[in-house]
Amino acid sequence: MEKQIIAVIAYDGSRFYGMQIQPNKPTIQGEIENALKKLNINSKITHAGRTDKGVHALNQVISFKVPEFWEEEKLKNLLNQILFPSIYIKTIKKAPLNFHPRYAKKRSYRYLLSPTISPFTANYLTHYQHTINYPLLQKALNTLKGTHDFTHFAKTGSDVKDYTRTIYLAKIFPYKNLSVINIQGNGFLRGQIRIIVDFLLKINENILTIDDLKAQLEGKLISKHLAPPNGLYLERVWYHSTLIESSYSSSKLI
């Protein structure tokens, strides 16, 4: 007999070629599946979203099956010993057998900008020395709220049929010596957040305008470059199930 497990994990994406498994390359999915094999658990994991190479997660959600006899806390501790230091399992719980982490009601991402350069933070913050015009960029972010066709805010070659997404929250604010961009929506396309951030920074530098942003949302391709991955974090994933939502109770958004 097997049971379904849901786990909330955090990881340092700078050490991996993204979330999704790739041949002959270190990935988060590959590391976790290899750790499970060391415990004689031959299970494939599913995940809430495919983060790119260099992108981090504070609360990624994964699911996999294990034999019924496994005690969740013991499994968590053993996996964390194997996965240390790049991946950390924050919570593990038994979930319904039909649970799939991809079917979330909303997700949020956080992008961190720093005016200072340090070799100790280079993999975790994007260095940006220009003065940030917070009112201007907040006005630009307000333009993104609501339901739009984000075709021109997705990586070339994205394998989706529908590019329509809804943005619930989009804000920028200072935090200590950082600038934080926080975007929450019902789902995101590959590269969408990084393309948005790059567009915003070009608006900040007067290379592009908010009218350009509106025009691209309306279907005119103006700029489709990616901001660096190192400042991007998958912040949280929300589900309709209260059982699954309670997995975050001891999982602070650090």
pLDDT at 157 over 80: no
Mind listing the pLDDT tens digit for each residue in 17-46?
Answer: 999 999 999 999 999 999 999 999 999 999
The listed CATH number (2.60.120.10, 3.40.50.1820, 3.40.50.970, 3.30.70.580) that belongs to domain 2-103: 3.30.70.580
**Helix segments in 16-146, DSSP class H:** 28-38, 72-83, 134-144
- Extents of the domains making up the chain: 2-103, 106-234
Is it true that 2-103 and 106-234 share their CATH fold?
A: yes
Distances (CA, A) of 150 to 143, 158, 182, 203, 213: 13, 12, 17, 18, 11
What number is the average pLDDT over the span 71-92?
A: 97
Of the listed ranges 63-72, 95-104, 236-245, the least confidently predicted one is: 236-245
Question: What's the CA dihedral at 12, 13, 17, 20 to 10 degrees?
Answer: 90
Q: What is the pLDDT of residue 242?
A: 67
Tokens of 89: 């399992």
Residues acting as catalytic residues: 52
Kindly indicate whether the domain formed by 106-234 is annotated with CATH number 3.30.70.660: yes
Q: How many whole angstroms separate alpha carbon 80 and alpha carbon 235?
A: 20
pTM of the model: 0.93
